[in-house]
A and B are shown apart, each in its own frame.
Chain A
């Protein structure tokens, strides 16, 4: 299962850490709108939300991070525009496309200062977060599986962390969910890595209808704690 080399584990932890200063604390990964809409109100609802999100948006992000990683590791960014277009087509909500690109810009801005690499400047004006994550992972010597796992963990723990602010929760219970999900994230990273080197059109395209609908409502909400 584990394809992370012994020398890569610390780099993976660095990229997946919520404390990486790339603005990951501002979005709730759709949790706040789900809570506002009354669709998540207890721990079971939170777990189903996180599991479903990982299987859909999480897997898509992981697939594109893995795909960008293998290409960057080869030093060939020629397919990045195609990856960007394929990812756009997989996100019906313009709000979520913007969130992904905002987070991508932030991650690139941060990594440019943290661990500079010539690839960052070649990613266009506002690259998607998974694409930047893949390129950053390659720069740090991670493989496709590592890139996928980094974004799966970052996205998942970010949404879970928001629970403490938008729900009445025991933080131990929130982390218990994350602990239960570790095998799922490993499996999804494996799926993403397996598809990484294939044609961009064959990358994961799992949709989450309510996430798109809720994101558009959230943008128009007067009272919100999180940007998304």
Chain B
């Protein structure tokens, strides 16, 4: 502790980055396809229109949807950085957001916290598919991730979030992530996950145990208003659970990212088409 914090955590000293990117989609004039209406990259947050790179739920093979990939323009975020991304999915349009690579969150020079905030609004009749890559909490990182998704009644959503506790064999730093999803203003899912040296008990059996990867897939479909899919604990480390509203959460923990991805996709398959990315593989 003593003497190690002589450098003050100031953006001027550390060169911290503040970035705000914006992305929006809308239905084309003839109403036949979704188009990207705003695509504003900022520094480390680079947004590019793209082709599908892996099978996606809900929109597999479709060419009438708007597809954008988020790429990192630089390493990070690192401590002190503050990134934000605003996404607006206009009424009736379908937007698919993927990521080029995993996001590695790193400690900054001054020990300051890095932050990433994502605000998503999905209008009526719109669909948002966010097929993210893992976030990796590096040793001694100090990161806060905050994602808010506001769905209009009648909006559809499927998103994947994966968090890895350090790179291979690495002890993670302090990491917290919050994902809050509302539908028509009503809360549907609100979970914060914290791990690292400052989070007591995160490696206990109630939270993550000895697992090094944790993630979820959240699916929301207005068609489930009256009957969300029934609960299904399909693996000792994973379960599909109906949310208090027209949605379902697939939650899983695993020893590594490969196992986690496999478990999450297995859960998605139990929902059948059009959610399953590889519906042929119905058993594991």
Contacts and interface: CB of A to CB of B under 8 A. Distances in A.
Decide whether A and B are members of one complex: yes
B199 interface: yes
Interface stretch (A82-90, A104-112, A118-126, A141-149): A82-90
Contacts of A201: 180, 187, 190
A214 B241 CA distance: 12
B192 A39 contact: no
A204 B192 CA distance: 8
A92 B206 contact: no
Interface stretch (A13-21, A51-59, A130-138): A51-59
Interface string B231-249: 1110011110111100001
A211 B206 contact: yes
A91 B238 CA distance: 15
A93 interface: yes
Given A52-B202, A54-B201, A92-B241, A216 B207 contact: no
B206 A210 contact: yes
A95 interface: yes
Summarize A's interface: helix, strand, loop or mixed.
helix
A93 B231 contact: yes
Interface in B204-235: 204-209, 214, 216, 231-233
B214 A209 contact: yes
A114 B281 CA distance: 57
B187 A88 contact: yes
Contacts of B194: 55, 206
B2 interface: no
Given A55-B200, A89-B188, A90-B190, A95 B231 contact: yes
14 contacts: A45-B205, A47-B204, A48-B205, A52-B203, A54-B201, A88-B244, A89-B181, A94-B241, A95-B231, A206-B194, A209-B208, A211-B207, A213-B238, A217-B239
Interface of B: 178, 180-181, 186-194, 199-209, 214, 216, 231-233, 236-239, 241-244, 249, 251-253
The 7 closest A-B pairs by CB, nearest first: A52-B201, A48-B204, A52-B204, A51-B201, A39-B205, A89-B187, A207-B191
